[in-house]
Structure formats: structure tokens, C-alpha cells
Chain A
Amino acid sequence: MPFVYRSSAIVLFACLFGVSACTHLGGREPEMQPLRLSQLAAEGDAARRASLRLVVEGLDADVARDSGRAQSRYQRALVVDATNPYAYLAISRQHVEAHDFERALQFLDRAEALLRMQGELADEVAVHLDGLRGGALYDAGDVEASAPLLDRARSLAPSVWGDGELQADELR
């Protein structure tokens, strides 16, 4: 192997080693990036994609404090695809925000069941489930059950769950 190649390979390996060591020695896992629904816009079949777009429009309406329009969008999203777990998740978020914990938990259970069935319960989504459930349980007065859930969400995604709430634009 010519000298130039050998040297280049050694330098490359050294750099890679250095980078990985730095990351490891830093002692902190990189922060997880929780799910944003706009990332999913191109996934699934036509109905799922349309349904997701409607959910995103609903979140936009929630950002604009137009909860009536948001609700309508979520309902339409369910008409297009009644098994879209993210529509239930967005509705649950709306109920948590409105401190309607009973409904929030109902929709959260449904979202979770569908996510599990559809094999989409990754950590990026689970963190929202934990956080929202924690929020709903807190409203329900079950502080003991809510604390570990909210703590977990905070520790996994401090940039989103640091304040213990999930804003519409953070899920969008």
C-alpha cells in the first residue's frame, strides 16, 4: 500500500477514534429528538398521509389559538384514517392543555394502543406519551403516578419537556 494511502488511513482512524472518545468522555448522551408530526408527512398510504397533513394543520390552528378549527381538523383526520394514532395523540395533547384529564387519558390510551399495534412506538413517540400521561395524571390529582412519567420525559427531551408541557408547535 503506498505511503500516502497508509498515512491517510491512519489519520482517518485517528480522527474517528478521537471523535468517538470525545463523545464518550463527555459523559452525556446526546438529547433525543422527540417526534414532530411534520416529519411523518410523507409516510404511509395516501389516506394516512392526508390524515397526517390534517393533523399538522390542526396543530397549526392550535398554535394560532384556534381550537375550534384544530378540533375540526383532528376529526377530519380521523374520518380519513380512523387508525391514525397521531390524530389521537394530538387530540390528547389538546385535552391535556385544557386540563380535561379524563378525555386526555382516553385518547392517549387509544394512541398508544394503535402505535403498539402498528409497531410505531419508538422512543421518540414514547416520550410524548409519558409526558402527556404525566400531565393528565397530575391534573387528575395522582401526583405520585405523574411525577416519574414527567421526570422521564424531562430527562429524555429537556428541550421539549423541560417545562412539563407539550406545546402544539413542539409536536407539529
Chain B
Amino acid sequence: MAARETGRKKAARKKAAGKKAAGKKAAGRKTAAKKSAARGTAVRKAGARKGLRRKSGGGGEGPRRPGPLTWFVRVLVVAAFGFGVWTSSWLISLDRIVVGRFEGQRFVVPSRVYSAPGILYPGLDAELIDLRGTLARAGYREQTSTTGRALHPGLFRWSGNRLRVYLRAFDHPTRPEPARDIVIRFEGNTIAEIRELPRSREVGAVLLEPELVGAYFGNDREQRELVEIDRVPQHLVDAVLAVEDRRFVTHHGVDPTRILGAVVANLRAGGVTQGGSTLTQQLVKNFFLTPERTLRRKATEAVMALIVEARYSKREILQSYLNEIYLGRRGSTSVHGVGEAARYYFGKSVSELVPAESALLAAIIQSPNRLSPHRNPEQARERRDLVLELMRRQNRLDLAAFNHARATALDVAAPISDAGEARYFLDFLRRQLPEAYDRELLQTEGLHIYSTLDSRLQRAAMRALRGGLESIETNNPQLIAEDSNARLQGCLIAMRPQTGEIVALVGGRSYGTSQFDRCTQARRAAGSVFKPFIYLAALEAQGGAPTATMASFLDDSPLEIETRDGLWTPQNYDHEFRGRVALRTAIERSLNVPSVRLALDVGIDRVADMARRMGVKSRLPQVPSLALGTAEVSPLEIARAYSTLASGGIRPTPHTFEDVTAGDRTLEQRQLELEQALDPGLAYLGVSLLEGVVERGTAQRLRWMGLQGAIAGKTGTTDDERDLWFVGFTPELVAVVWLGFDEPRSIAGVSSSTGPLPIWASFMQEAVGNQMRGMFIPPRGIERFDIDPESGALALSGCPERKSEVFLSGTTPQEICDGKGLRAYAGSDREERIRRARERQQKKRRRESAPGLFGWIRDLL
């Protein structure tokens, strides 16, 4: 068929070319005729002259005057000629328009962004991951008694504690997934087992297809999924033709019978009740014309329809129509084409439609909003049944299929609108794409971008941030700004530390009000979240002994520093001085003065260097106040830097997409990069310090809020209380929350532990629950010893007090506490004594953690 059509097209082109050639020949002939006429005139004139000479002696004839009829004929010829020229130029211009559209880019298809695929596996809490919501959002429909017995892709069915889902296939150039019929068995809310039918094979994990999280629209905000005519089921074509244009295959763009019928029907009804347009005319109207009802427009439409039919095959016209036709609204966007409509209304691809669904799509073409199956299911069903009736009458559907389709309920997927949850993320993704992917390309080329976004975490982040900000304003009415553009703002970014995948990003409280992304575009004073860089720089041994160890003490006494701007006297948050404080205490309580002293001891340049190695790219002025986070950085940079700690010193590259595809080609693919920026042991010391902040320090509130397991974090408040931060991480997730005003002013009354910290906690509770998975495991090169908390000396037997502490190998304390007074111990048997002490301590720990006789028997069994 296609070959035949192509043949026809070629023939048409040849014909057109032949016509052109004939036109040229004709033009050539005309020129020749003109020349010959000119020659004739010259001959006649010469002859006349000769004649004059010959008849110069005789009487001459006067010129004949043309009669009125001749004048009329002349005017008529001129008018006809003018009309012909005008008509030709009009037809040529229309033809150009038609060809321009058909041969060029017929459709503008916005590029779509998909989330990372969801993963189901035994042991997951289905409620926590919102399995029901996930299925609904992906357009899966529950099979009920009225929707048939067979389970098709896109359907699910509950029976007791089992959920059977027919997962849809996922098209992707390099990692496609087949459709899978799976049964999930639950124990309570937990997935106990997943089996794949038909062989009931147990599977360890299944991937759900990625969710659509957004698209890059042009001004028209049209959503469209292009389909090839070969993929469109015949029953859909039949349904459309039955109701919209039954003589489509026989007419030439305009159907006089239909027009006549419409005229009669409208005359009878006394108004316009029926249209006479063919599919081709409808396509022409949608492609090229305005919806105005004038004779001129109708004439143009008819002529263009004839041109389209003359130039293109019926299949091409039908394919264009099926991709162009408007079929409803999804939120603020319009649904165009049967491909998009099949996804929207039935959660499946167009090739998977059944006759009843095809009839429904054809039914709503007339008035997609009035006949929307979501809003007016009764009317939609009536119209669908009418379409089925027409299909039956026109012998396009056999009786059995007709009866089955009529008996089928309207089973449409729940309406999903783009809630704009991921708009900040989409903007950031666009900025992360290579430059070639400009706005216009993304709005027109229909690319598929597979992102790293976790839709569930994104929703959790949005709820946590908005809820948190509202709660702060409720408790602190003085912070409420009258101008909606000047309200307290915030942002939340979450990243997988091992891979750098950004899984959630909310850049402000409302994208509608402000599109400025405070997580990736804003630079704000880091405050105390900068302090870990000082401690890490101090703990790092760079070719010698480190400036400090975990057993070190710092001086918390008044400090004055000469700066270019005058004398600077840093203060602690409570304006108190504690004298000698342990290094751990200083960071756990976020003490400013000892931190500044330590930074000066280490060297501000080394502190800045540490921040840069961990992922901070912003300018870091090398002044003493850098220690207190006066440098302006973005929350994204802070997330990256803390990820370096959480991942054992590997600095991740934050990224938002995995790959970009166009049809069956992969245009971009992201490779996972691992850069060891810090020694794993040093990173572990940092983690250990920040675990202390959560256990005993300024982030202790997290524990009060019920969060359990491995969590490390740091609060941050700038001196002027204009920026509030909380950075928290588990072995699997790093999240940063920042709060502040866009025009910086004090957020008096709110601290980092009452502002951003509860937002972080709320996000994590929804994202992973109260129990964090995994633990921070000390790497090779870390040693654990008991030390005397008073002196920091190694605690041997006899030392009255002791606490466990971690050290990098070779940085253990030089002094010992053994009950005989504190003394430096650097004698020849020092190493031996330390070794024995370590063995004793390890034995003790093993004893403490040993399961006992009962545990031994249990293990044996």
C-alpha cells in the first residue's frame, strides 16, 4: 500500500514536473510567437510603406473604428486574464503554504522529562512508597467486574493480600523493558514476594516505568505524542471515519454529498447543527486557518483541502489528522492527537487500544470538553455508543465486537494534571543540558529526557518545605510579609551522595510567584555549615602531623583579630566563653570562637582549599571571617560537599538526567563519575563529628522527633540571622534546607534547629520513614580507642573516666592516662602498650557485642 502511495506521489510529482516543463515550453512558444508577431508587424509596416509608395497617386482607406462589442470582448479578455493571474497566484501561494507545512516540521512536539523508574522489591513498605498513588499517577487502571476478565498491560487487580499488575512495556533505545505480568504478595504493608506470570517465577526486583514529570512547552502548551499510521489500530481509524468522514477514501478533499446533507439538515433545524467538512478540511482548518466562520475562509479551506488531496496520499493525510486533532485538556495544557489521548485517557499506547476505547476517542472529537469522559461520563458514553452504532451500520465492526464494546464500561484512567511539582527541577535540568539543547529545540523536537528525579521524594520535599514555611509564619507572625513577592523563602535539595543524582529539588515556595531557584542559583552566606571544612582541614595530615586530632582541645576565650576593616572580635551564639573545650564539643555546639582559632591555626587558605576539594566552587575570600561562613555559596554546593563526606571521600558530580533520546537514538548519556577527593578515613572523621552534632549537639532535636539510625548533620545560622541552614545526611541521602528572605533581612525568632531542621526531618520521615537504612562504617585507616575525656590522653586500665574515640592511624594521642597520673608516653614500649590496650579494648567490645549462649545456639541452628 505504502509503495503504491509512494508511487502515486512520485507520479504526481512527475506530473507536476511535466506541467512545469509544459509551462516553460508554452512560455517559449509565446516568446517565439511574440517575436514572429513583431516580425509580421515590421513586414506589414514595411509593406504599408511600400504600398503607400505604390499607391501614392491613388485615394487611401481610413482606419476602422472598433465597435462596442469588440470593446466589451477586449475588456472581458483583460478581466479574464487578470482574474486568471490573480487565481493562479492565489493557488500558488496556497500550494506553497501547504507544501511548506507538510514537507517541513508538521508538528511541534514538546520534549518530555521522565522521572527515574520506581523499583519494587520484597521488603519495601508499600504504604511508604505510596504504591497505589504511583500506579494511579502512571495511568494504571483497576480491573473490575465491568471492565472484563483478561488483564492487559496497564491494568491491576487486587485479591486479598495480592496485587496483580500487568506492567506496561517501556520503550527506550538502549534499555527497553518488556511488559510483565506480576503478582505482589503483601504481609501487612510490606511486600513479601513478587512473582512473574505465567510461570510464577520469583523475581527479586521489578522496575516501574518512569513517570512523566513535565515537558518543555512552547507558548501553545500542546501535548502531543506522534504516532505512525501503521501503529494505529484499524478499529480506531474506522471509528474516526465512521463518525467524522465516512467517504474519506473516495472524495478528493471536499465531499459535495456531505455538504448538501449538512445544508438540508441545518435548514431543517433552523440553525447550524451539522458541519459538512471532511477530515481533510478539518486538518486544513487546524493547520492553516483560523476558526472564524466566513465564506472566504470556507472557500480557502476547500481549495486547500483539494490541494492537500492532490499532493498527498490518504494515509499521509489521515496520519496528520490523527496527530493533530484536539482531544481535551490536561490541566493547563491541551491534549492533541490520538497518541497523547490514548496515554491520557487510558494510560496506554495507541496500539494497545481496544474497539470501545477507540470509539470513545472518536466520539469526543466533536467537542472534547463537553464530552470529556472525566467530566461528563454519561454524555461521553452516549456518544461512544453512537460511534459504535455507526461503525456497525457501516460494516466496520462485526456484531460480536460491537456487542462486547457496547457492554464495556467507560474505564478511563484518573485525570492527571501537571501540578508543577518539578518546575524548578526542570529549569535546572535545562541548564545542565549541553548548550545545543536550547529552549526552541526542547520545545519542538519531542525529545525524551530521563531524569534522576524521584517523584515521591519530590512530592515529599515540596510538602515539607511549604508546610514548614507556613508553620514558621504561623508561629512567628512578625515574619509574614504583606507583599507576596517578599515572603519568607526556602529551598530543599536532596541528592544521592554515592552517585550525585539529584532526586528532589524545590527552589522556592511557589514557582508561580518566583521562578528563581534558591538552591542552584542563589548564593547565600554559609554560616556554620561551613565549619566542617575547618575541622577537616585541621584533622588532615598533609605530609606531617595534623593540626588537631579528635582528642584535641580548643581555646574558647575572647579573641581579637586585626583585619583590613578594623578589629574583629568573633563571638559565640550565646556570647559566653567556655575556656578549654574538646574539639568535638566545639563543633557539636557550633562554637564560633574556637572554630576561628582553629581555622587560623590551620591557615585560612587550607580551609578554603578543603571546601573547594569537597565541591564548593563559589569564590571564597581568604579572610578570617571565612571560618564563620561569610562566603556566599549555593545550597547545591553545600549538598555536594557534604555528599563527599557521606560517600567516603568521593566527590560526586551533581546531575539531573541519565540520558536524552530522540526516537530510537540516544543523544546524550550520563556516565557515573567517581572522584576520590578526600581520604576515606578523613571523611569518616568528618562524618563522626557530624553524627555527634545529631547525638549531642545543635541537631539533637532530630532524635526527639523520632528519627532513628545513622544520621549526621550540621545546623547553620549566619551572624546576622539572615540565613538559616540545615544539612543532614544518611549513608544514602543528603538533603540541604535553606531558609531566608530574597532581600536579606533578619529571621529573628527562628533558629536553624526550629526552622530548617524540622523541614528536613519532615522530608526524611516521608521519604524513608523514621528508621534510616545503613550505617557509616569506618574504613581502613581508622582506629578506635578509649580516651580520657578530661585530658584527651589514651585511657589505659586504671584511668578513671573514658570514652571511645576514632582516630586516623598514626594520630593517636601521645599521652596516656593509667591512673598513675597523666604522662607523655613516647618510650620504646609505647607502641607495644598501645597494641595491648587496643587488643584489650577490642576483646571487651567483642564480649559486649557477643550474642551469648542463646545467640550461639540460634546461629548454629
Contacts and interface: CB of A to CB of B under 8 A. Distances in A.
Interface of A: 41, 45-47, 49-54, 56-57, 68-69, 71-72, 75-76, 78-83, 91, 103, 106-107, 109-110, 113-114, 116-118
Contact of B204 (A41, A69, A83, A114): A41
Interface residues of B, number: 40
A45 B205 contact: no
B773 A45 contact: yes
Given A80-B121, A82-B499, A118-B777, A52 B204 contact: yes
B579 interface: no
Interface of B: 116-117, 119, 121-124, 173-176, 203-205, 207, 496-499, 501, 647-648, 650, 658, 666, 671-676, 680, 731-732, 773-774, 777-780
Given A71-B175, A103-B671, A113-B680, A79 B496 contact: yes
Contacts of A79: 116, 119, 496, 499, 501
Contacts of B207: 76
Residue from the set A83, A103, A109 with the largest chain B CB neighbour count within 10 Å: A83
Contact of A82 (B121, B497, B778, B780): B497
Contact of A72 (B174, B499, B650, B680): B174
Contacts of B671: 103
A53 B122 CA distance: 11
Given A54-B205, A56-B204, A76-B119, 18 more contacts: A46-B124, A47-B123, A50-B204, A52-B204, A57-B205, A68-B175, A71-B174, A72-B174, A75-B499, A76-B117, A76-B207, A78-B672, A79-B499, A80-B119, A106-B673, A116-B779, A117-B648, A117-B779
Given A79-B116, A80-B205, A82-B731, A47 B175 contact: no
B732 A82 contact: yes
Contact of B123 (A45, A83, A113, A116): A45
B121 A117 contact: no
B131 to A, nearest CB: 15
Given A46-B121, A116-B779, A69 B680 contact: no
A170 B266 CA distance: 77
A69 B174 contact: yes
B469 to A, nearest CB: 29
A110 B773 CA distance: 20
B330 to A, nearest CB: 29
Q: Which 10 A-B pairs have the closest CB atoms?
A: A46-B123, A53-B204, A68-B174, A50-B121, A82-B498, A72-B175, A117-B777, A106-B674, A50-B205, A69-B175
Contacts of A116: 779-780
Contacts of B780: 113, 116-117
A71 B658 CA distance: 11
Contact of B205 (A53, A103, A110, A118): A53
A83 B121 contact: no
Contacts of B674: 106-107, 109-110
A49 B123 contact: yes
A110 B497 contact: no
A82 to B, nearest CB: 4
A109 B674 CA distance: 9
B325 to A, nearest CB: 35
B658 A75 contact: yes
Contacts of B116: 79
Given A54-B205, A68-B175, A75-B658, A47 B676 contact: no
A81 B496 CA distance: 10
Contacts of B647: 82
B779 A49 contact: no
B121 A47 contact: yes
A117 B683 CA distance: 13
Residue from the set A49, A54, A56, A117 with the largest chain B CB neighbour count within 10 Å: A117
Contacts of A81: 732
A50 B123 contact: yes
A29 to B, nearest CB: 27
B504 to A, nearest CB: 14
Contacts of B673: 103, 106
